[in-house]
Amino acid sequence: MDLKNKHLLDIASLSKEEIEDILNLAENLKEILYRPIPKVPTLRGKLIIHLFYEPSTRTRFSFERASKTLSADTLTFTGKGTSVEKGETLLDTIKNLEAIGADLFVIRHPVAGAPHFIAKYSKVPIVNAGDGTHEHPTQALLDLLTVKEKLGTLSDLKVTIVGDIKHSRVAHSDILAFQKMGSTVWVTGPAQLLPDFKEEDYYKITKNGFKICYNLEKAIKEADVVIALRIQKERHGEALVPSFLEYHEFFGLTPKHLELIKENAILMHPGPINWGIELAYEMEKYPSQVILDQVENGVAIRMAILLKLLTGEKVYESFG
């Protein structure tokens, strides 16, 4: 699959084969990160501009690490201290940074659809690093890579996503990604945080399984993968959860829940974590939680995406 000069905007528009191709390349690239000098010259001379209109630790710094490991030049833009503060539009910012020499933009934006909008006008590839409540495709890809590494397969799994599904771009990308790979996705959480979309909307897209369940215990029973989500307080607009203590009581994952899931099941969280709300503090010690493995895999996935979009590379034997 040739993704050269294309945009990576969402999981919805990636085929299963394209997803597999990105995962395979990321698996091959990972060894570079363990070399004494973790750097290859592949993207020397390319300028990657990271536009982060919203806060980020994992996505922003793993994209920067990925870009630098591939020897690209990087600029990071957060809006502060730029002409955005004087009212410059997103489109004008893009046009001006293209004129400065950008070869690819990575963009995180609070408005759903912002990356899709600029992709219509940009002469260079756009990567969506999270747009409002819509999608976070690179997070879903690193989640897939982590599950593939830990469980050896991405098909016929029961994947349960717990929490603020409605406002979570991670959930929206993960639901599509895991189904595309042939697994069944269950979502659970308080009714007011469950999605507006109908189950059949998601069946139509993927022709696989998707289940909305209001009972945490039933949703996680015999799960292979449990993904806890952060409560997206900043996107609620009004108080949707009466109290976080109450949320924890009914939907926080605690050691007692581990008895319900499969023996080799893994526990994931995209971060940042509200310990004591979506996850009990003790869960940090749970041997099958793979939260930092997800973060580590984020670097390799983002390296693979940058290579695909800028060079169209297929899987390499080795990167010298």
Residue whose CB is nearest to ligand CP in the complex, by number: 59
Residue closest to 192 by CA, chosen among 171, 214, 211, 173? 214
The answer to whether residue 168 forms part of the interface with ligand CP (CB under 6 A) is no
Q: Nearer to ligand CP by C-beta: 18 or 64? A: 64
Contact window for ligand CP (CB under 6 A) among 31-39, 42-50, 114-122, 268-276: 268-276
Look up residue 286 and give its amino acid. Answer: Y
Find tokens 């806060």 and name the residue: 55
Q: Nearer to ligand CP by C-beta: 8 or 40? A: 8
The answer to whether residue 116 forms part of the interface with ligand CP (CB under 6 A) is no
Question: Is residue 46 a contact partner of residue 309, using CB atoms and an 8 Å limit?
Answer: no
The answer to whether residue 132 forms part of the interface with ligand CP (CB under 6 A) is no
Q: Name 296's Cβ contacts closer than 8 Å, sequence gap at least 6.
A: 33
Contact window for ligand CP (CB under 6 A) among 36-44, 63-71, 81-89, 265-273: 265-273
Question: Is residue 60 a contact partner of residue 50, using CB atoms and an 8 Å limit?
Answer: yes
The answer to whether residue 139 forms part of the interface with ligand CP (CB under 6 A) is yes
The answer to whether residue 79 forms part of the interface with ligand CP (CB under 6 A) is no
Size of the site for ligand CP (CB under 6 A): 11
Question: Is residue 222 a contact partner of residue 257, using CB atoms and an 8 Å limit?
Answer: no
Terminal-to-terminal C-alpha distance of the chain: 23
Q: Name 98's Cβ contacts closer than 8 Å, sequence gap at least 6.
A: 122, 123, 124
Alpha helices in the chain (DSSP H): 16-29, 58-69, 90-100, 114-119, 137-151, 169-180, 199-206, 216-220, 244-251, 255-258, 291-311
Q: Nearer to ligand CP by C-beta: 138 or 160? A: 138
The answer to whether residue 163 forms part of the interface with ligand CP (CB under 6 A) is no
Cβ burial of 37 (10 Å; 0-12, 13-18, 19+) is exposed
The answer to whether residue 235 forms part of the interface with ligand CP (CB under 6 A) is no
Q: Nearer to ligand CP by C-beta: 40 or 283? A: 283
The answer to whether residue 59 forms part of the interface with ligand CP (CB under 6 A) is yes
Q: Considering only residues 242, 255, 272, 276, which one is a binding residue for ligand CP as defined by CB under 6 A?
A: 272
Contact window for ligand CP (CB under 6 A) among 25-33, 154-162, 193-201, 267-275: 267-275
The answer to whether residue 271 forms part of the interface with ligand CP (CB under 6 A) is yes
Q: How far is the CB of 63 from ligand CP (least distance, A)?
A: 9
**HSE of 56 in the Cβ direction (CA atoms, 13 Å)?**
28
The answer to whether residue 57 forms part of the interface with ligand CP (CB under 6 A) is yes
Tell me how far apart the alpha carbons of residues 129 and 182 are, in angstroms, rounded to a whole number.
24
Q: Nearer to ligand CP by C-beta: 139 or 184? A: 139
The answer to whether residue 125 forms part of the interface with ligand CP (CB under 6 A) is no
Residues of this chain that bind ligand CP (CB under 6 A):
56-60, 130, 136, 139, 270-272
